[in-house]
Amino acid sequence: MSLFDKLNKAKEDKSASTLQAGEDFLAENAKRPEVTTLASGLQYEVLTEGNGPKPQATNTVTCHYHGTLTNGTVFDSSLQRGQPASFPLNGVIKGWTEALQLMSVGSKYRLFLHPSLAYGERSAGAHIQPNSTLIFDVELLGIR
């Protein structure tokens, strides 16, 4: 087996173990009574329920968010930057597009995203490896 083959095998093994660890985490998480699991696999916990309008996928939303891996590693946070983020809702990962349409302005949810609702088999940034399960605290501040 060549060095290239060995490196590819190690990468595949790591990706498979990351996927399994995330699926185990989500299976346990789904048992918590405060967590809702949808047919898509999206899991969320309502931290604060707002009473404003809900966005559609075609809207641009403004949010504060804090993203971590299941081990607690922070990979991105508008809160830490002190600047909310605005983006078209249909231009982000599937889990966000689905979840934010459930939220009213003023709501804060904790999202638990299977890799199929996040970055899948791609890595993203320095910390998100292929098949990573992601956790986001998201506060919906506004809709345009």
| Helical (H) or strand (E) element with 36 | strand 35-37
The verdict on whether 65 is a catalytic residue reads yes
The verdict on whether 119 is a catalytic residue reads yes
Q: Which residue among the candidates 44, 109, 112, 136 is catalytic per the annotation?
A: 136
The verdict on whether 4 is a catalytic residue reads no
How far apart are alpha carbons 141 and 34 in whole angstroms? 23
Q: Which residue among the candidates 25, 44, 109, 119 is catalytic per the annotation?
A: 119
Who's near 83: CB < 8 A, 6+ residues apart?
none
Q: Nearest Cα to 77, choosing from 60, 90, 63, 94?
A: 63
Q: Are 87 and 26 in contact (CB under 8 A)?
A: no
Q: Which residue among the candidates 44, 93, 109, 135 is catalytic per the annotation?
A: 93
The verdict on whether 76 is a catalytic residue reads yes
Q: Which residue among the candidates 25, 44, 76, 128 is catalytic per the annotation?
A: 76
Q: Do the strands 35-37 and 85-88 form a parallel or antiparallel pair, or are they unpaired?
A: unpaired
Half-sphere exposure of 35 (CA within 13 A, CB side): 17
Active site residues: 65, 75-76, 93, 119, 136
